[in-house]
Amino acid sequence: MAPGRRDRRPAVLVLADGTSFKGYSIGARGEFLGEAVFNTSMSGYQEILTDPSYAGQMVTMTYPLIGNYGVNTEDVESDRIYMGGFITREISRTRSNWRSSGDLDEYLRKYGIVGLEGIDTRELTMHLRSKGAMQAALSSKDLDIDRLLAKVTESPGLVGRDLVSEVTVKEPYLWEEGLVDEPEYEVVAYDFGIKWNILRLLSACGCRVTVVPATTTADEVLDRDPDGVFLSNGPGDPEPVTYAIEAIRGLLGKKPVFGICLGHQLLGLALGGKTYKLKFGHRGGNQPVINKEMDRVEITAQNHGFAVEPESMHGCRFGAVELTHWNLNDNTLEGLRCRDAGAFSVQYHPEASPGPHDARYLFKQFLDLMREGLS
């Protein structure tokens, strides 16, 4: 329990296997059913909270003290919080940063996010690492373990569920922050749950970026005649997002394509590959990846629970696929390239937020591909 806590309302977390954790409520009073996962980043909690890729999930922060530098209006990755639950060992009631405009507890309440503190997050993390990410109930309203477990059993998981349709933009828009006077490239960015720092970096590279809904067809994109197409990150299982897979197939070989995270998985499916659910996924700002093309290790920021099957990428209908990046923790595929189709992607987040900047060269790689064009 956090020392000096003023509001000691009880709250409980119940996992699908019957394991439960009793602690204290933070954020809004209520109940959320979703997948329980963990993130190993030591900071950047506001960026994590506002990442749409966490839709349908509750996130456990492995670092024990969260909230000490408060929140502000700048370090956000979208217009609101998309995850449903937030779990910490202790939330700080004292914020100390010159940029801070509010505290974390108030921020959670503002967006109606149910939270939990005062549990052993190390024990919870080790349990999820051993048993795998699983459905759970987080509640400060109903504290009955058996009743909550029954709700978890009946709740839908992530597999086979299209969460992209719940987070994507409704209408196309021009990203104006950081837009230079005479942008060199016109880019169409698919919003599968896009993080704003991706858009900031594309603009900083000299791109005029038009963000379009996930349901935008290939013909609608080609009518805009962009120099390149970006496939964004996003939540959940890529396989049900069939409209995006079909659109990507219609763009391959016609425009340069760059994908990140869910965009990587969707590109893999569009190229004829398969995806599968990871046991507990990769989430945090310290994931080691080897770049086989450059023969160097990158420390990366990641947030995904699905991956592309390497064996499924043989015999692609668009040409040979190179498997370019690999995760050094579990040897899962982290990057691919199809030169004949003018497309490449990575599973991790080169824009960081939060995380290191080892992989920002990928944006230059996209610029080079747009400059050279497709023969």
- Write the burial class of residue 41 (CB in 10 Å: 0-12 exposed, 13-18 middle, 19+ buried): buried
> What mean pLDDT is predicted for residues 253-273?
97
Beta-bridged to residue 337, according to DSSP, are 322, 344
Query: How far is the CA of 150 from the CAs of 85, 116, 153, 158, 318, in angstroms?
Result: 19, 20, 5, 18, 47
What confidence tier does 8 reach under pLDDT thresholds 50, 70, 90?
confident
What confidence tier does 317 reach under pLDDT thresholds 50, 70, 90?
confident
**178: phi then psi, degrees, rounded to nearest 5:** 75, 10
Q: Are 164 and 234 in contact (CB under 8 A)?
A: yes
Asked if residue 159 is part of any domain, the answer here is no
Query: Looking at the structure, do residues 16 and 125 belong to the same domain, yes or no?
Result: yes
Indicate the pairing of strand 57-61 with strand 85-87.
Answer: parallel
What confidence tier does 5 reach under pLDDT thresholds 50, 70, 90?
low
1 has pLDDT over 50: no
> What mean pLDDT is predicted for residues 330-358?
90
Query: Looking at the structure, do residues 107 and 232 belong to the same domain, yes or no?
Result: no
Query: Looking at the structure, do residues 213 and 96 belong to the same domain, yes or no?
Result: no
> What mean pLDDT is predicted for residues 321-333?
97
Task: Tell me which of 100, 130, 154 is where a domain ends.
Answer: 154
Asked if residue 226 is part of any domain, the answer here is yes
Query: Looking at the structure, do residues 91 and 231 belong to the same domain, yes or no?
Result: no
Q: Supply the pLDDT for residue 237.
A: 98
Indicate the pairing of strand 275-291 with strand 322-327.
Answer: antiparallel
Query: Looking at the structure, do residues 260 and 121 belong to the same domain, yes or no?
Result: no
Asked if residue 5 is part of any domain, the answer here is no
What confidence tier does 353 reach under pLDDT thresholds 50, 70, 90?
confident
Q: How far apart are CA 82 and CA 200, in angstroms?
A: 20
Query: Looking at the structure, do residues 147 and 184 belong to the same domain, yes or no?
Result: no
> What mean pLDDT is predicted for residues 247-273?
97
**159: phi then psi, degrees, rounded to nearest 5:** -65, 130
User: pLDDT, tens digit, for every residue of 79-126?
Assistant: 999 999 999 999 998 999 999 999 999 999 999 999 999 999 999 999
What confidence tier does 34 reach under pLDDT thresholds 50, 70, 90?
very high
Query: Looking at the structure, do residues 64 and 136 belong to the same domain, yes or no?
Result: yes
Query: Looking at the structure, do residues 42 and 174 belong to the same domain, yes or no?
Result: no
Closest of 214, 231, 194 to residue 79, by C-alpha: 194
Query: Looking at the structure, do residues 88 and 127 belong to the same domain, yes or no?
Result: yes
Query: Looking at the structure, do residues 145 and 171 belong to the same domain, yes or no?
Result: no
2 has pLDDT over 60: no
Joined tokens for residue 161: 């569920």
The more confidently predicted of residues 307 and 357 is 307
Neighbours of 60 (CB within 10 A): 25
SS3 43: coil
What confidence tier does 161 reach under pLDDT thresholds 50, 70, 90?
very high
56 has pLDDT over 60: yes
CATH label of the domain that carries residue 168? 3.40.50.880
Task: Tell me which of 117, 136, 154 is where a domain ends.
Answer: 154
Asked if residue 117 is part of any domain, the answer here is yes
> What mean pLDDT is predicted for residues 345-360?
84
Asked if residue 204 is part of any domain, the answer here is yes
What confidence tier does 190 reach under pLDDT thresholds 50, 70, 90?
very high
In the chain, the DSSP E strands lie at 10-15, 20-27, 31-39, 57-61, 65-66, 85-87, 90-91, 114-117, 134-139, 173-174, 185-191, 207-213, 228-231, 257-260, 275-291, 296-308, 322-327, 333-338, 343-346
Query: Looking at the structure, do residues 150 and 191 belong to the same domain, yes or no?
Result: no
Asked if residue 243 is part of any domain, the answer here is yes
> What mean pLDDT is predicted for residues 175-202?
93
Query: Looking at the structure, do residues 85 and 220 belong to the same domain, yes or no?
Result: no
Count up the domains in the chain and report the number.
2
Task: Tell me which of 86, 119, 154 is where a domain ends.
Answer: 154
Residues acting as catalytic residues: 261, 349, 351
What confidence tier does 7 reach under pLDDT thresholds 50, 70, 90?
low
CATH label of the domain that carries residue 131? 3.50.30.20
Asked if residue 201 is part of any domain, the answer here is yes
Asked if residue 85 is part of any domain, the answer here is yes
Q: Which domain holds residue 200?
A: 164-372
